[in-house]
Amino acid sequence: MVIHRDQCRADARDVLDEFEAWLLRERSTQEGTAAAYTARVAGFVEWLPAPVDQSLKTLTAAMLTQWVNLEAARGLKASTLSKQLVMLRSFLQFCHRSGRTGQDFSGVVPHAAAWRLSSIPDPVPSGTIEALFGTLDLRSAKGMRDRAILMLLTGLGLRACEIAGLRLGDIGWRTGTLRIRGKGDRVDELPLPEDVGQALEDYVLHGRGGRTAGEEVFWTVIDPVQPLTANGVCGTVRQICVKAGVEKFGPHRLRHTFATGMLASGATLQEVQGLLRHAHLRTTAIYTKVDKNRLSALVTEWPATASGRWSR
């Protein structure tokens, strides 16, 4: 289960803070990656009986198996469960090396069966995006901020971490471009659509303006004001879903919706690959699985069907 460390008990937060510091120091992970790993294992740490340090000292393989079975029973996608288990292994390695467990239990954690690119992207139902925008109060700083975030998700297909990483200098107001820092320290420059740029301008000038001197574009709206994290972007989208009365989902589903919409409107796979900034075209090709209408238009009717010679 992915939860924010602030939702955990004090003893759990202490261990999670040390785990994140260990990832930054020993594994040289980026801050966003370390935060994501910490959020992924927070559910396991919170599940352990208090105090956490004592539970870790008496940890057994049977306890780990019990927790993995509980996670699997939640009906998680194979890819999601696989991420949970990968990050749990890292946490258990940290626990052993920091002396919290007497042995390295990382080898006990099983591998979830998952095949790369085997899943089918699930765009949001028709009318959902309009419902999300319809809940926003554009007279408030939060409403202007949330509109800009939704525009970046639906108009450019950005990832949550890319939105959280935006700096004021990344916005090319005069050139109409947006600099994106993506996975693997990759930096790309995308065209900035007029409606997306207008939403950003409204937020920067009237929603964000004057509240902070930092370079980050997006900030929290409740004091103490802090830069919005990738988890914060995810939480924002889910809060808007609840307010709109639709099924909760995260930012990545809007990225899926953007990609399938581009293909449906006639964009080529190579064009969508460039906008999504996929390193390999085979990653982008997964979106062709869901465009059944376009696929049907490419296939002529089988003559036997037209003449009624076969019942099936």
What pLDDT sits at residue 269?
65
Residue among 9, 179, 252, 289 flagged as catalytic? 252
d(CA 234, CA 40): 14
- Structure tokens that stand for 197 in this block: 């740029």
pLDDT-above-70 percentage for the chain: 78
Q: What is the average per-residue pLDDT within 262-273? A: 70
Length of the chain: 312
Residue among 27, 183, 206, 238 flagged as catalytic? 183
What pLDDT sits at residue 298?
46
CA distances from 65 to 37, 72, 78, 106, 180 (A): 20, 10, 17, 12, 40
Half-sphere exposure of 51 (CA within 13 A, CB side): 8
CATH class of 5-108: mainly alpha
Alpha helices (H) in the chain, listed in sequence order: 10-26, 31-47, 52-57, 61-73, 78-97, 128-134, 141-156, 160-164, 194-202, 230-244, 251-264, 269-276, 281-284, 292-298, 303-307
Q: What is the DSSP string of 160-178?
A: HHHHHT-BGGGEETTTTEE
pLDDT digits (tens, 9 = 90+) for 201-242: 999 998 886 666 789 999 998 878 889 988 899 999 999 999
Burial annotation 174-183 (CB, 10 A radius, 16+ → b, else e): eeebbebbbe
292 is catalytic: no
Q: Strand, helix or coil at 181?
A: strand
252 is catalytic: yes
pLDDT digits (tens, 9 = 90+) for 63-103: 999 998 888 888 777 777 888 888 999 999 999 999 999 99
At a CB cut-off of 8 Å and minimum separation 6, what does 41 contact? 16, 19, 87, 88, 90, 91
Positive/negative CA dihedral, 183, 187, 193, 195: positive
What pLDDT sits at residue 304?
47
What pLDDT sits at residue 121?
59
Q: Write the CATH number of the domain with boundaries 128-294.
A: 1.10.443.10
Q: Which residues pair with 216 in a beta bridge?
A: 167
Residue among 147, 255, 256, 277 flagged as catalytic? 255
pLDDT digits (tens, 9 = 90+) for 115-148: 554 455 577 888 999 999 999 999 999 999 999 9
Q: Where in the chain is the domain with CATH 1.10.443.10?
A: 128-294
What pLDDT sits at residue 164?
92
206 is catalytic: no
Mean pLDDT for the chain overall: 82
287 is catalytic: yes
The distance from CA 12 to its chain's CA centroid, rounded to whole angstroms, is 24
pLDDT digits (tens, 9 = 90+) for 237-266: 999 999 999 999 889 888 888 877 776 677
Q: Where in the chain is the domain with CATH 1.10.150?
A: 5-108
Residue among 13, 100, 253, 278 flagged as catalytic? 278
255 is catalytic: yes
Q: Which residues pair with 185 in a beta bridge?
A: none
Looking at 81-90, 189-198, 285-294, which range is the least confident one? Answer: 285-294
Residue among 159, 208, 253, 277 flagged as catalytic? 159
At a CB cut-off of 8 Å and minimum separation 6, what does 214 contact? 227
16 and 42 Cβ atoms separated by less than 8 Å = yes
What pLDDT sits at residue 291?
52
Minimal CA–CA distance to 164: which of 236, 217, 205? 217
